[in-house]
Amino acid sequence: MKKMLSGTELLRSLCMAFGPSGCEENVALMIKENIKGCYDELVPDRMGGVIALIRGNGSSEERLMLSAHMDEVGFMIREICEDGLLRFSSMMGSDTRIMAGRRVSVGNADMQVRGVIALKPVHTVERADRGKAATLDELYIDIGASSREEAEKYVKIGDYGTFESDFVEFGEGGKLIKAKALDDRLGCAVMIELMREIYTREERLPFDVYFAFTCREELGVSGARCASHKIRPHKALIFEATAVADIHGVPEVSKVAERGCGGAISIMDRSTIYDRDMVDMLLETAKAKNIPCQIKKYVSGGNDAGHIHKAAHGTKCAVISAPCGYIHTASDVIAKEDYNSIYSLALAAIERMGEDA
């Protein structure tokens, strides 16, 4: 049996796994390995997510859902060219500034090959177009193949790709972490650690707790929709990562949150208006327990809560997001302290919900 990981090593292992939207199998297997013996039941999920149940003591009929998505931003191969280069579709939006020259892994859950995202050199670009971001049609993935036949030995149309990136601790005392896929493997790691803590306690919570590790969030074709309709939760707590823009030159009004100041609690985004009672409960709990947290200051983006809050007869939702610099790139950056704060606040909030049930 493999050793269960925790803390930074757990996060490292999850981030380094290959798991773009639609190809989350490796991440799901890793999660299952790290939650063995920490749940009462695994609930089937046809979408490919992992749903684990820790039963309550039966004194409350309410169901609490915790959710984090397993997938990361990536690509899909749509054409193998005669010269062995690969054309691709983006599963992360159309911002090509972050793509050119990046190392990538391409393939499927069973096998990947390395490559780089290529574009034509600057001396072949018209002067009027120099300095402009390339379009997706101008980018290719080079896996070192010299022909279509050679490339087809390793990849096929419909295969996936994602950034290849080292996991690096940096800054004074290693206070920051740089990696791919911190959105949202950080949320997955927090949920794994919460499961271990809650399951091993002698006293059970009054209500059932479902831990849903969902798929395909980055595409908007969210596995959380199916998971939440199966669970039919009364309340849900979603763990996510959010862009922060806390760098020089960004107007104060555009800054979302600040790394190192705790998890960001949203009041509203473009997919959800969060339940005010749950938001207030999180803020009050953080204050009472002296746990750093902050309010997300900019109405932007969305997450699995956009699907979960509409499940069945409706679900009261709240989200705690990790402030993440350079999100959806090969170099997401978070503060270690935010990881710890999010875990501490989530555990304290669940305990308080148990007291109030």
Are 285 and 212 in the same domain? yes
Instruction: State whether 309 and 280 are in the same domain.
Output: yes
- 156 and 299 belong to one structural domain: no
Q: What percent of the chain has pLDDT over 70?
A: 94
Residues 194 and 156 in one domain: no
Domain boundary among 104, 135, 163: 163
Q: For position 138, which CATH number holds?
A: 2.40.30.40
Considering the domain architecture, whether residues 54 and 88 belong to the same structural domain is answered as no
pLDDT of residue 1: 47
Average pLDDT rounded to a whole number, residues 170-184: 97
What's residue 299's pLDDT? 81
Strand duo 263-265 + 293-295: pairing: parallel
Quote the pLDDT of residue 333. 97
CA torsion through residues 318, 193, 207, 348, sign: negative
Judge whether 102 lies within some domain. Answer: yes
Do 188 and 150 lie in one domain? The reply is no
217 and 318 assigned to the same domain: yes
> Residue 316 pLDDT > 60, yes or no?
yes
State mean pLDDT over 88-109.
88
On whether residue 168 sits in a domain, the answer given is: no
Do residues 158 and 275 share a domain? no
Residue 72's contacts (CB-CB under 8 Å, 6 or more residues apart) are: 19, 20, 21, 162, 180, 181, 183, 185, 218
CB of 272 closer than 8 Å to CB of 301: no
Position 175 in a domain: no
Would residue 173 count as lying in a domain?
Answer: no
Rounded to the nearest integer, the mean pLDDT of the chain is 92
Note if 9 is an active site residue.
Answer: no
174 part of a folded domain: no
Structure tokens at 135: 């379009």
How many domains would you assign to the chain? 2
d(CA 273, CA 271): 7
My answer on whether 42 and 139 are in the same domain is: no
Of 163, 193, 208, the residue that ends a domain is 163
Mean predicted confidence (pLDDT) in 253-267: 89
Structure tokens at 80: 């193998």
| Statement to judge: residues 351 and 203 lie in one domain | yes
Residue 328 covered by a domain? yes
- Stretch among 52-56, 113-117, 240-244, 281-285 having the lowest mean pLDDT: 240-244
Instruction: Say yes or no: 187 and 220 in one domain.
Output: yes
Question: Is the pLDDT confidence value at 119 over 70?
Answer: yes
Residue 80 lies in a domain: yes
| End-of-domain residue from the set 138, 163, 188 | 163
275 prior amide bond cis, ω within 30: no
Residue 157 in domain:
yes
The CATH number that applies at residue 194 is: 3.40.630.10
Catalytic residue among 72, 217, 218, 240: 217
* Interval 12-48: pLDDT, tens: 999 999 999 999 999 999 999 999 999 999 999 999 9
| Same domain (yes/no): 214, 133 | no
The residue ranking higher by pLDDT, 127 or 140, is 140
How many whole angstroms separate alpha carbon 11 and alpha carbon 18?
14
What's the domain range around 111? 75-163
How remote is the C-alpha of 70 from its chain's centroid?
6
pTM: 0.94
At residue 59, the 3 state secondary structure works out as: coil
Confidence at residue 127, expressed as pLDDT on a 0 to 100 scale:
65
